[in-house]
């Protein structure tokens, strides 16, 4: 049940996140749907490829596709005054999607009895994979590759779940809230990872 809840939260958040980017880039309605769907399901597809599961398992998620399409449609129809501050909303929905899908991906790997390294990788790929594809399609530098602290939060969620130091639904929801807040704070406070630049000849 908890796994499904995080799947729904992540799907809605990332579908809207993709729609926001598409609308900012002035994509038409079809483009908004494409970018929203790719953002919502891209991470899971990449994860399945790397842990040996067929990508076709995604086609069995009819309910999630319906939820994503409904979320994109409703957001597209929102009055302009409610979505004009797209940048703020975009980062919030992206943080929610990152946290929810990182936890969902980690739980999925644990369910398959994967080693902790695979649990962390599954968390990072599920949490940030859709965003990577979204940014590349929108011709932007992926957030996870910048000096912003982004994928690190997904890895942290995977590590905590992989160590199995805690258990229970309440713990997972608390972890979801903590990772979401940390991602938002890292954006607002401009926390950065170390960066070295090489001078070009």
β-sheet bridge partners, residue 148: 192
For residue 55, the surrounding DSSP H or E stretch is none
Q: What is the pLDDT of residue 83?
A: 65
Residue 34: pLDDT band (50, 70, 90) is: very high
CA 169 to chain CA centroid, Å, is 20
Total structural domains in the chain? 1
Residue 102 lies inside a defined structural domain of this protein = yes
Percent of the chain topping pLDDT 90: 46
Q: What is the pLDDT of residue 53?
A: 75
pLDDT above 80 for 80 = no
Residues of the domain holding 165: 1-76+85-189
Q: Are 114 and 151 in contact (CB under 8 A)?
A: no
Residue 173 lies inside a defined structural domain of this protein = yes
pLDDT above 60 for 193 = yes
Residue 195 lies inside a defined structural domain of this protein = no
Residue 201 lies inside a defined structural domain of this protein = no
Dihedrals φ, ψ of 73, to 5°?
Answer: -60, -50
d(CA 156, CA 159): 5
Length of the chain: 201
pLDDT higher at 196 or 19: 19
pLDDT above 80 for 82 = no
Q: Are 102 and 152 in contact (CB under 8 A)?
A: no
Q: Exposure string (b/e) for 153-163, b if CB count within 10 Å is 16 or more?
A: bbbbbbbbbbe
Residue 119 lies inside a defined structural domain of this protein = yes
Residue 200 lies inside a defined structural domain of this protein = no
What is the rounded average pLDDT of the residues 185-198?
Answer: 83
Q: Are 102 and 153 in contact (CB under 8 A)?
A: yes
Q: What is the pLDDT of residue 115?
A: 93
157-171 pLDDT, tens per residue? 999 999 988 888 999
Residue 14 lies inside a defined structural domain of this protein = yes
Nearest to 19 by CA among 2, 1, 37, 41: 37
Q: What is the pLDDT of residue 119?
A: 94
Residue 147: pLDDT band (50, 70, 90) is: low
Residue 23 lies inside a defined structural domain of this protein = yes
Residue with tokens 């939060």: 153
pLDDT above 80 for 186 = yes
Burial of 14 (0-12, 13-18, 19+ CB in 10 A): buried
d(CA 78, CA 76): 6
What is the rounded average pLDDT of the residues 114-129?
Answer: 93
Neighbours of 128 (CB within 10 A): 29
């Amino acid at each position: 049940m908890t796994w499904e809840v995080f799947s729904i939260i992540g799907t809605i958040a990332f579908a809207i996140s993709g729609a926001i980017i598409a609308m900012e880039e002035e994509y038409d309605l079809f483009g908004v749907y494409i970018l929203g769907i790719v953002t919502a399901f891209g991470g899971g597809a990449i994860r399945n490829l790397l842990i040996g599961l067929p990508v076709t398992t995604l086609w069995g998620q009819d309910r999630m596709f319906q939820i994503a399409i409904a979320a994109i449609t409703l957001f597209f129809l929102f009055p302009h005054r409610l979505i004009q501050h797209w940048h703020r909303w975009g980062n919030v929905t992206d943080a929610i999607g990152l946290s929810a899908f990182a936890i969902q991906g980690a739980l999925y790997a644990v369910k398959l009895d994967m080693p902790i390294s695979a649990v962390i990788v599954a968390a990072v790929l599920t949490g940030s994979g859709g965003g990577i594809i979204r940014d590349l399609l929108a011709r932007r530098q992926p957030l996870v590759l910048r000096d912003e602290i982004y994928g690190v939060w997904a890895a942290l969620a995977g590590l905590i779940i992989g160590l199995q130091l805690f258990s229970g639904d309440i713990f997972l929801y608390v972890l979801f809230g903590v990772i979401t807040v940390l991602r938002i704070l890292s954006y607002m406070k401009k926390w950065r990872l170390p960066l070295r630049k090489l001078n070009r000849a």
